[in-house]
Amino acid sequence: MKNIWIIAKKDLGSFFSSPVFYSLTSVFLILNGFIFFNILNFFSLQSFQAQQMRGGGMGLNLNEMVIEPSFHNMAVILLLIIPLVTMRSFAEEKKSKTFALLLSSPIHLIEIIVGKFLACMIVIGLMILLSSYSTGYLMLVGNPEMGPVITGYLGILLMTGCYVSMGLFASSLTDNQIIAAVISFGLALFMWIIGWGAQASGSGLGQLLEYLSLITHLEHFLKGLISSSDLVYYLSFILFGLFLTYRVLESSRWR
Amino acid sequence: MIEVEQLSKSYGPREAIKNLSFQIEKGEVVGFLGPNGAGKSTTMNILSCIMPASSGSVKICGFDVFEQALEIRKIIGYLPETPPLYSDMVVYDYLAFAARLRHVPLKNTQSAVEKVIEKCSLKEASDRIIGRLSKGYQQRVGIAQAMVHNPDILILDEPTIGLDPIQIIEIRKLIQELALSHTIILSSHILPEITQICKRVIIISDGQIAAVDSLDALTTRLRKGERLVLNVRRNNSEILEKLRALKKVNAVTEHQPANYTIDCEPNADIQDEIAQLSLNNQWGIVELKPVSMTLEDIFLKLTLEESEVP
């Protein structure tokens, strides 16, 4: 546990001392803010119209019309941002030959992987935290239901975990950061849209593809629902990604 | 302390090292010598548990490198061929990170880092970013990283590569100091370095051990022939012929006028004969002395002979 934190702390240090983190965070916050503004603007227009027509803005739900689409959009932006956060994890270590330092130290490979996972999660968690001013603003001016907001953040975090574990896997495959980013972006997007194959395939396979899709499971969280099926899916997804990373790194030592 | 038996490693079909066996005692300073691509780095990577061997066994302090890698990593310090430096980190932070990685307790980290900074004379660089340091400083940070947890065994892969002569002398001095309290394995293809630092040499060529011995023993063993230098006062053409006519003389070459090198068979002991010859013909002998071959010659000879074997 101590070793994991040593690795994570080192990675966090290099994140915060590099311009990559600041540019990624800025882009994330600007896109997120712009989308939030437009969604909110649309909502206020709608409620204004509804008020004029019916004489009362009843039936318009802040959770459904603002928070849920905001989360959806955040998931898309994260899809673009996370590969750029994870790409350096192993690729850079391998390129600059610093991986030998970690490998010749008395720490287990699993601890290295989990440490790097933790560092990426903290970085992205921080980005999400910075963007949560939007939710705070809604709480200030409106009265959203808190349950779906909390489960929404939980869902987004779990989904982030999946992206990160795929990103680490991609980064372990190569010593080129760009290739790592492209592979992890491709993987993440594919796992997002894999459910689209459901229509073309039979009912059995279709259900499976639907279940494998990252986004299907997020829906429940955004509606305020925590189901064990979704939790198991996300957690096993993360573990599987980390396991693949472990296998790749372990086998690369033999070559 | 280190026992290597029948160690082999192949990368795909290419065999990097073949059946290496050697032993290293506690406190020894051993040099790995060999041309580029001989398998030095591969051997060192296996010793420091970074890479598993294809076959054979390595035991360090009784621990097996494959089974008990974590135990071994606690007692070794490793400087790979390319120093594993994070170019965006400050020297002090980097060394502290390396110390923590090697299980130096948090409360001792500061003193451990300060000690290696002192030892490797990194004081003026300790708050600078590694990427901006000169190659010599970076190499020293690499060595500092390997010894920050005060390991029993130091494995240094080409520690002086790419440095300027003054830096090389400094690093060499540092290694000599470290040799007093550590077991050191050092690789190099720069020969004077090995002669100065190491007491024992393992010469590797084409992935196989060409020789394991102390420097003195190597020199005697490899002096298959002897070489004499003869300097005379009065030069004339008959000298060359008369020397060549001597028994047990293999070859005579004239470098400068009146300066000859005589290659003869081992234990020929022909100094007396040459002196007599010189007296009889009034060459006016100025100098007649045997030359011992330098390690460079040995090295060249070894690797050349290895490649001649079919």
The DSSP letter of residue B292 is P
pLDDT, position A32: 93
Residue A131: pLDDT over 90:
yes
Residue A73: pLDDT over 50:
yes
Percent of chain A with pLDDT over 90: 64
Residue A225 CB: number of other CB atoms within 10 A?
Answer: 13
Regarding whether B108 and B16 lie in a shared domain, the answer is yes
Residue of A nearest to B101 (CA): A105
A101 interfacial to chain B (CB closer than 8 Å): yes
Query: Is B309 inside a domain boundary?
Result: no
pLDDT, position B225: 62
The DSSP letter of residue A196 is G
Query: Is B25 inside a domain boundary?
Result: yes
Q: Which two tokens stand for residue B102?
A: 């090697």
Backbone angles phi, psi at B263, to 5 degrees: -95, 125
Q: Which two tokens stand for residue B13?
A: 């079909």
Cα separation of A237 and A242, whole Å? Answer: 9
Regarding whether B156 and B120 lie in a shared domain, the answer is yes
Query: Is B307 inside a domain boundary?
Result: no
Q: What's the CATH number where B143 sits?
A: 3.40.50.300
Regarding whether B258 and B156 lie in a shared domain, the answer is no
Are A191 and A162 in contact by the 8 Å Cβ rule? The answer is: yes
DSSP labels for B132-143? GS-HHHHHHHHH
C-alpha separations of A153 from A72, B14, B228, B240 in Å = 11, 53, 86, 95
B52 interfacial to chain A (CB closer than 8 Å): yes
Regarding whether B241 and B202 lie in a shared domain, the answer is no
**Average pLDDT in chain B:** 82
Are A214 and A71 in contact by the 8 Å Cβ rule? The answer is: no
Q: Which two tokens stand for residue B244?
A: 């060549």
DSSP labels for B84-133? ---TTSBHHHHHHHHHHHTT--HHHHHHHHHHHHHHTT-GGGTTSBGGGS
Residue carrying the six token digits 């808190």: A146
pLDDT, position B308: 42
Query: Is B299 inside a domain boundary?
Result: no
Residue A197: pLDDT over 60:
yes
Counting beta carbons within 10 angstroms of the beta carbon of residue B224, is it exposed (0 to 12), middle (13 to 18) or buried (19 or more)?
exposed
B137 or B226: which leads in pLDDT: B137
Q: A230 pLDDT band (50/70/90 cuts)?
A: very high
Which residue of B48, B73, B88 is in closest CB contact with A14? B88
Regarding whether B167 and B27 lie in a shared domain, the answer is yes
pLDDT, position B307: 43
Q: B26 pLDDT band (50/70/90 cuts)?
A: confident
3-state secondary structure of B158: coil
3-state secondary structure of B157: strand
Are B194 and B188 in contact by the 8 Å Cβ rule? The answer is: yes
B162 interfacial to chain A (CB closer than 8 Å): no
Residue of A nearest to B55 (CA): A254
Over residues A172-180, mean pLDDT: 94
Which of A186, A208, A185, A183 lies closest to A197, judged by CA? A208
Q: Which two tokens stand for residue B18?
A: 């073949």
Are B270 and B249 in contact by the 8 Å Cβ rule? The answer is: yes
Over residues A134-140, mean pLDDT: 89
Cα separation of B237 and B168, whole Å? Answer: 46
Structurally, chain B folds into a number of domains equal to: 2
Regarding whether B240 and B205 lie in a shared domain, the answer is no
- Partner-chain contact B89 A14, CB within 8 Å: yes
Residue type, B167: Q
Query: Is B260 inside a domain boundary?
Result: yes
Which of B202, B221, B240 is the last residue before a domain boundary?
B221
The H or E element that residue A174 is part of is: none
A17 interfacial to chain B (CB closer than 8 Å): yes
B145 interfacial to chain A (CB closer than 8 Å): yes
Percent of chain A with pLDDT over 70: 97
pLDDT, position A245: 96
Regarding whether B43 and B31 lie in a shared domain, the answer is yes
Cα separation of B276 and B281, whole Å? Answer: 9
Cα separation of B92 and B126, whole Å? Answer: 5
- Partner-chain contact A106 B98, CB within 8 Å: no
- Measured CA angle at B210 (ends B205, B215), to 5 deg: 115
Query: Is B308 inside a domain boundary?
Result: no
Residue A151: pLDDT over 90:
yes
Residue B264: pLDDT over 80:
no
Are B72 and B63 in contact by the 8 Å Cβ rule? The answer is: yes
DSSP labels for B5-64? EEEEEEETTEEEEEEEEEEE-TT-EEEEE--TTSSHHHHHHHHTTSS--SEEEEEETTEE
Which residues of chain A neighbour B76 with C-beta distances below 8 Å? 104
Q: Please provide the distance, in angstroms rounded to a whole number, between the alpha carbons at the two ends of chain A.
A: 29
3-state secondary structure of A95: helix
- B258-292 residues labelled b (16+ CB within 10 A) or e (exposed): bebebebeeebebbeebeebbeeeebebeebeeee
- Helices (H) and strands (E) in chain A — how many of each? 14, 0
Q: Which two tokens stand for residue A20?
A: 């990559």
Q: ipTM of this predicted complex?
A: 0.86
Residue carrying the six token digits 């500061």: B110
Domain span holding position B276? 224-291
- Partner-chain contact B70 A108, CB within 8 Å: yes
Min Cα distance A247 → chain B (Å) is 15
Query: Is B305 inside a domain boundary?
Result: no
Residue of A nearest to B73 (CA): A106
Regarding whether B259 and B191 lie in a shared domain, the answer is no
Query: Is B310 inside a domain boundary?
Result: no
- Partner-chain contact A100 B78, CB within 8 Å: yes
Residue A181 CB: number of other CB atoms within 10 A?
Answer: 22
pLDDT digits (tens, 9 = 90+) for B48-79: 888 888 888 889 888 888 888 888 888 999 99
pLDDT, position B10: 87
Regarding whether B269 and B163 lie in a shared domain, the answer is no
Residue A184: pLDDT over 80:
yes
Looking only at the bridges linking them, the beta strands covering B285-291 and B226-232 are antiparallel
Which of B198, B221, B244 is the last residue before a domain boundary?
B221
- Partner-chain contact B48 A10, CB within 8 Å: no
Which of B71, B86, B154, B157 has the highest number of chain A CBs within 10 A, making it the mutation to test binding with A?
B86
pLDDT digits (tens, 9 = 90+) for B76-113: 999 998 899 999 899 999 999 999 999 999 899 999 99
Residue B306: pLDDT over 50:
no
Are B265 and B226 in contact by the 8 Å Cβ rule? The answer is: yes
Regarding whether B280 and B140 lie in a shared domain, the answer is no
Cα separation of B117 and B140, whole Å? Answer: 9
Cα separation of B275 and B257, whole Å? Answer: 18
Regarding whether B88 and B65 lie in a shared domain, the answer is yes
Q: At what angle do helices A146-173 and A228-254 cross, to 10 degrees?
A: 20
Regarding whether B204 and B66 lie in a shared domain, the answer is yes
